[in-house]
Amino acid sequence: MRLKKLLCLAALAASMASHAGSFEDFFRAVRADNASGVASLINRGFDPNTRNETGQTGLLLALREPSPRVIDVLLSSKKTDIDARNANDESPLMLAALRGQEDVVRKLIARDAAVNKPGWTPLHYAATNGQIAIMKLLLENYAFIDAPSPNETTPLMMAAMYGSTQGVELLLAEGADPLLKNQQGMTAADFAQRGQRPDAVALLNAAIRARKPSGGAW
């Protein structure tokens, strides 16, 4: 009985040591863009959704590096949770949208990544950096154009202050509402004014005037 217990403890210790080694090997391979190493570990049973010391999954870390070959391996694995978020509630799709990684955005959408997650959305992030092709792609996949952030900031507001004139034009053309206000009572035009974006201010004011009924009354 004692021998059996010792053997069980030895097996458990060996398993823990093996997992610890796999943990280090996995995140080392992710950082090095070692696709074959990551694929081998997943095939041997390592959970690709394991988080490192800072709470990052392999996919989130691969997007940050970036490690494009590892991203492909992780996206091709059915074991990968493609919507796992970081501590800031950012999803892989949001990070790819922000960084302009259009190919990754397409692959994530093909895996049914959440285009309309609650709170800040991929469209907010694409609009912030003026990623026009990705903004179009998200809208084609039914992104809510006036999605409210936790403080009710819309993608149009982010485009107006941080993005590009083309991004503001695109959102307005697709039906974004320039009259909406966030919790601070600011419209997209206010955001553009604060960001010292006269081009965006002019576009937004024109869009607001176009909404007025004939005769100038609201």
Distance in angstroms (rounded) separating the CA atoms of residues 197 and 191: 9
Residue 11: which pLDDT band, with cuts at 50, 70 and 90? very low
Which of 39, 60, 81 is where one domain is finished? 81
Sorted by sequence, the CB contacts under 8 Å of residue 169 that are 6+ apart come out as 203
Asked if residue 136 and residue 113 are part of one domain, the reply reads yes
Distance in angstroms (rounded) separating the CA atoms of residues 33 and 25: 12
What would the pLDDT profile of 121-158 be if each residue is shown by its tens digit?
Answer: 999 999 999 999 999 999 999 999 999 999 999 999 99
Angle, helix 102-110 to helix 92-99, in steps of 10 degrees = 150
Domain that holds residue 30: 1-81
What would the pLDDT profile of 103-113 be if each residue is shown by its tens digit?
Answer: 999 999 999 99
Strand ranges, E, within the chain: none
- The pTM assigned to this predicted structure is 0.87
Work out the end-to-end distance of the chain between its first and last CA atoms, rounded to an integer number of angstroms.
Answer: 87
Cα atoms in the 13 Å half-sphere on the side-chain side of 193 = 7
Asked if residue 162 and residue 118 are part of one domain, the reply reads yes
CATH number, residue 18: 1.25.40.20
Query: Are the CB atoms for 56 and 81 separated by under 8 Å?
Result: no
Peptide bond into 68 cis (omega under 30): no
Asked if residue 105 and residue 64 are part of one domain, the reply reads no
Domains: count for the chain: 2
